[in-house]
């Protein structure tokens, strides 16, 4: 069968669906000063910084009204939908809370003092000496981004921010090409979208400034990019999927570990670029995960199952032996880097910050601190603008701040590091090293980022290697979803948009790709070998990682409060 690209089967979704003017009567609209969509590091750093700045601007604070800053978060609590490694550069936290020493940051497990990178083969682990500089994490702090969300939200609430959790933002309110705010999602619809007995419609939230910090999925953000032409000249965004587990272990781990190689295949034919991380979480826990680009070509490749396979390697087994799995999470990371960022970070009334603006340095595994810095720049820009002219909607000063910041600098320096890796590990590795050695000068030029969905897929043999779950070391996807605390309503409307009758290769790609077993090909069609199959969607399994958007479908937002309740990812 010739390989086929998922992009040939675009999802039934029109970005125009999520953009429009306010529809509530003016007296019913909820007025806030600044509306921030997303309770992640970017959004919450922005919220905290705003209140800090407004403490010195009593006039402006009063003008912003009863609710000066509101954060709209779709998870049950901020942090419920956050997943990352993560070894975080302390600069952002130090900038936001200069009086709080890192030892006292609640989400932190330890400062990284020792790190090592290994190349794995099927049975061995070769330390890479000298370790690749982009994986050096000394001086950073290992933390849980899920706990970071809770901590930043707590600080924000103490400072007077309204955190509206269990609330999704489903529409960007735009009038005369000015962003006026967002509309919150309806709650209480049935499977067919019908209004149930306890239906509660969303509400228009209007604000002087709207900050979109939606994270990797960027539901409203990407629609806004289209509408306002903010990505003209940018490369398409690409994503990597990370699947992570947290284990209680009897033996503490003394170093931060990254691995390359097995179980990913090195040949450029498979485009399996990525690697794993294994981090200590204090004395009694470790976390580890596999992060792989979503441009893989084998339709049977599954990051979730490759991670199960990864655990059977003697090197990994030694670390988690005698332990118990206590956490699981999955999320995508934008990997396009510099060339895939939008050309503009603001339009009248709106600013974009963090992962949804592509502010991730995937080559150096960093994104959390950039998100927080961006959130703080957004806060500064908003206060500067509104202080000068309360009726202004021009936040171009934010663009200038980003362009002059380490976000721009670091992403530019690593602008061509990721792309070569899709040409195979050997070639890519060489190019990446060259980039690091020359601080970004070589190779120069512009290595284009490829759209994940445009890459043709075919049925391969990756799936043959995955172990049968033994429920002690290895697990199946449903057990993993259970561990994520996912408690989505069974009769909720389906929020996943895909074409449901597609070639087998495309269907199989989605089935394997999804870490939560949302997609299934009916058994009889699997066995029949038909070239075209139906795809059955169990939307209530979805942990909102965003992979489907990268690979030809579209993740829209389920009702607020749905999805996982991550604790420590």
Partner 1 sequence: MAGILVYALHDDEGNFNKNSLGAISEAAKLVGEIGGDAAALVVGDVSDEACAGLGKYGATKVYRAKSVPEGLAQPIVDAMEKVIKEQGFSYALFGGGLLGFEIGAGLTARLGAGVTMEVTSVKVQDGKLVAERPILQDSQVADVGYVGEPGIIIGRLNAFDAEETGGSAEVVDVDVELSEWSTKATMVKRGEQRGADVNIEDADILVGGGRGLGAAEHFKLCEELAEVMGGAVAATRAVVDAGWYPYAAQIGQTGKTVAPKLYLAAGISGAIQHKVGMQNSENILAINKDPNAPIFEFSDFGVVGDLHKILPKLTEAIKAKKGG
Partner 2 sequence: MKICVLVKEVPDAAVQKRIDPSTMRLDRSGEKNLNPFDTHALEAAMQIKEGGAIPVDEIVAVTMGPESAVRALHKAVALGADRSVHLSDESLAGSDVCATGYALAKALEAEGPDLVLLGQQSDDGECYTIGAVVADHLKMPSLTQVINIEVADGKLRCERQAEYGYDTVEVELPAVISVGDAINEPRYPSLKAIMGAKKKPLDTKSAGDVGIEADRVGEAGSKTKVLALNPPPAKEAGEIIEDEDTNETVEKIVAWLDERKLI
Write out the residues near partner 1 by the rule CB under 8 A.
468, 471, 476, 478-479, 482, 487, 489-491, 538, 540
- From the CB of residue 439, how many other CB atoms can be counted at a distance below 10 Å? 9
R_g (Cα) of the chain, nearest Å: 23
CB-based contacts of 543, cutoff 8 Å, min separation 6: 329, 330, 331, 481, 484, 486, 515, 516, 563, 564
Q: Which does 567 bind (CB under 5 to 8 A by kind): partner 1, partner 2, none?
A: partner 2
194 vs 232 by CB, closer to partner 1: 194
Q: Which helix (H) or strand (E) is 413 found in, with range?
A: helix 406-413
Q: Are residues 328 and 370 in contact, defined by beta-carbon separation less than 8 angstroms?
A: no
**106-114, 193-201, 308-316, 419-427 -> range binding partner 2 (CB under 8 A):** 193-201
Closest distance between partner 1 and the C-beta of residue 284, in Å?
Answer: 21
**4-12, 81-89, 161-169, 242-250 -> range binding partner 2 (CB under 8 A):** 161-169
52 vs 525 by CB, closer to partner 1: 525
Q: Which of residues 203-262 bind partner 2 (CB under 8 A)?
A: 203, 205
Closest distance between partner 2 and the C-beta of residue 390, in Å?
Answer: 22
Determine if 184 is a binding residue for partner 2 (CB under 8 A). Answer: yes
**196-204, 208-216, 317-325, 350-358 -> range binding partner 2 (CB under 8 A):** 196-204
**92-100, 411-419, 479-487, 507-515 -> range binding partner 2 (CB under 8 A):** 479-487
What is the C-alpha separation between 98 and 215, in angstroms, rounded? 25
1 vs 197 by CB, closer to partner 2: 197
- Token pair listed for 133: 């500089």
Q: Which does 171 bind (CB under 5 to 8 A by kind): partner 1, partner 2, none?
A: none
Closest distance between partner 2 and the C-beta of residue 196, in Å?
Answer: 7
140 vs 488 by CB, closer to partner 1: 488
**Residue from 57, 200, 380, 396 that binds partner 2 (CB under 8 A)?**
200
Q: Which does 485 bind (CB under 5 to 8 A by kind): partner 2, partner 1, none?
A: partner 2
324 vs 446 by CB, closer to partner 2: 324
What sign for the dihedral angle of Cα 88, 90, 95, 97? Answer: positive
- Counted residue by residue, the chain has a size of 569
Q: Which does 265 bind (CB under 5 to 8 A by kind): partner 1, partner 2, none?
A: none
277 vs 328 by CB, closer to partner 2: 328
- From the CB of residue 456, how many other CB atoms can be counted at a distance below 10 Å? 15
What is the C-alpha separation between 196 and 179, in angstroms, rounded? 31
67 vs 516 by CB, closer to partner 2: 67
**Residue from 196, 434, 436, 526 that binds partner 2 (CB under 8 A)?**
196
Determine if 76 is a binding residue for partner 2 (CB under 8 A). Answer: yes
Q: Which does 76 bind (CB under 5 to 8 A by kind): partner 1, partner 2, none?
A: partner 2
123 vs 471 by CB, closer to partner 1: 471
- From the CB of residue 16, how many other CB atoms can be counted at a distance below 10 Å? 10
Strand ordering across the sheet containing 285-293: 125-127, 115-120, 256-261, 274-281, 285-293, 239-248, 324-334
431 φ, ψ (degrees, to nearest 5): -65, -45
Q: Which does 436 bind (CB under 5 to 8 A by kind): partner 1, partner 2, none?
A: none
**Residue from 177, 487, 501, 528 that binds partner 2 (CB under 8 A)?**
487
CB-based contacts of 55, cutoff 8 Å, min separation 6: 61
What is the C-alpha separation between 77 and 391, in angstroms, rounded? 33
Q: Which does 479 bind (CB under 5 to 8 A by kind): partner 2, partner 1, none?
A: partner 1
- From the CB of residue 162, how many other CB atoms can be counted at a distance below 10 Å? 16
204 vs 240 by CB, closer to partner 2: 204
DSSP state of 364: G
Closest distance between partner 2 and the C-beta of residue 262, in Å?
Answer: 32
Alpha helix (H) ranges present in 453-554?
Answer: 477-483, 504-513, 523-528, 547-550
How would you label 118-155 residue by residue, b for 16+ Cβ within 10 Å and e otherwise? Answer: bbbeeeebeebeeebebbbbeebbbbbbbbbbbbbbeb
How would you label 266-285 residue by residue, b for 16+ Cβ within 10 Å and e otherwise? Answer: bebebbbbbbbbbbbbeeeb
292 vs 518 by CB, closer to partner 1: 518
Closest distance between partner 2 and the C-beta of residue 512, in Å?
Answer: 26
**54-62, 183-191, 261-269, 272-280 -> range binding partner 2 (CB under 8 A):** 183-191
Residues that bind partner 2 (CB under 8 A): 30, 67, 70, 76-77, 80, 162, 164, 167, 184, 187-188, 196-200, 202-203, 205, 326, 485-487, 564-565, 567
């Amino acid at each position: 069968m010739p390989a086929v690209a998922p992009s040939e089967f675009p999802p039934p979704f029109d970005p125009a669906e999520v953009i429009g003017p306010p529809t509530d009567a003016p007296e019913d609209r909820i007025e806030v000063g600044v509306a921030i969509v997303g309770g992640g590091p970017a959004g919450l750093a922005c919220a905290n910084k705003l209140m800090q700045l407004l403490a010195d601007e009593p006039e402006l604070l009063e003008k912003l009204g009863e609710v000066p800053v509101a954060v709209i978060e779709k998870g049950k609590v901020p942090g419920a939908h956050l997943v990352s490694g993560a070894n975080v550069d302390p600069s952002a936290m130090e900038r936001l809370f200069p009086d709080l020493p890192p030892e006292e940051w609640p989400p932190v497990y330890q400062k990284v003092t020792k790190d090592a990178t290994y190349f794995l083969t099927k049975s061995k682990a070769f330390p890479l000496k000298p370790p690749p500089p982009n994986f050096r994490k000394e001086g950073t702090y290992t933390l849980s981004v899920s706990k970071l969300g809770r901590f930043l939200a707590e600080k924000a609430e103490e400072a007077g921010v309204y955190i509206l959790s269990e609330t999704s933002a489903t529409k960007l309110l735009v009038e005369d090409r000015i962003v006026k705010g967002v509309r919150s999602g309806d709650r209480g619809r049935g499977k067919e979208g019908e209004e149930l007995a306890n239906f509660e419609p969303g509400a228009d939230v209007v604000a002087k400034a709207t900050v979109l910090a939606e994270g990797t999925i960027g539901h409203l953000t990407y629609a806004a990019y289209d509408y306002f032409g903010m990505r003209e000249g940018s490369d398409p965004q690409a994503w990597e999927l990370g699947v992570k587990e947290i284990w209680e272990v009897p033996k503490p781990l003394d170093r931060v570990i990254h691995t390359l190689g097995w179980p990913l295949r090195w040949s450029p034919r498979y485009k399996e670029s990525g690697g794993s991380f294994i981090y200590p979480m204090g004395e009694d826990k470790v976390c580890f995960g596999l992060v792989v680009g979503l441009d893989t070509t084998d339709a049977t490749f599954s990051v979730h199952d490759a991670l199960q396979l990864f655990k059977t390697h003697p090197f990994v087994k030694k670390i988690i032996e005698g332990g118990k799995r206590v956490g699981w999470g999955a999320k995508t990371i934008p990997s396009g880097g510099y060339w895939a960022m939008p050309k503009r970070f603001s339009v009248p009334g709106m600013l974009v910050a963090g992962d949804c603006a592509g502010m991730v340095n995937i080559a150096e595994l960093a994104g959390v601190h950039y998100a927080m810095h961006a959130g703080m720049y957004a806060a500064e820009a908003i206060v500067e603008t509104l202080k000068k002219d309360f009726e202004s909607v021009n936040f171009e000063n934010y663009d200038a701040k980003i362009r002059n910041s380490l976000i721009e600098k670091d992403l530019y320096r690593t602008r061509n590091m990721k792309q070569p890796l899709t040409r195979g590990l050997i070639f890519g590795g060489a190019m990446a090293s060259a980039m690091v050695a020359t601080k970004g000068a070589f190779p120069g030029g512009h290595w284009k980022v490829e759209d994940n969905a445009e890459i043709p897929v075919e049925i391969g043999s990756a799936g043959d290697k995955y172990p049968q779950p033994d429920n002690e070391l290895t697990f199946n996807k449903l057990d993993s979803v259970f561990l994520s605390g996912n408690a989505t309503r069974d009769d909720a409307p389906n929020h996943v948009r895909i074409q449901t009758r597609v070639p087998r290769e495309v269907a199989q790609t989605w089935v394997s790709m999804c870490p939560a077993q949302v997609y299934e090909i009916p058994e009889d069609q699997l066995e029949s070998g038909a070239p075209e199959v139906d795809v059955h969607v169990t939307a209530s399994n979805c942990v909102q990682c965003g992979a489907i958007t990268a690979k030809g479908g579209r993740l829209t937002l389920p009702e607020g409060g749905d999805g996982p309740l991550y604790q420590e990812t």
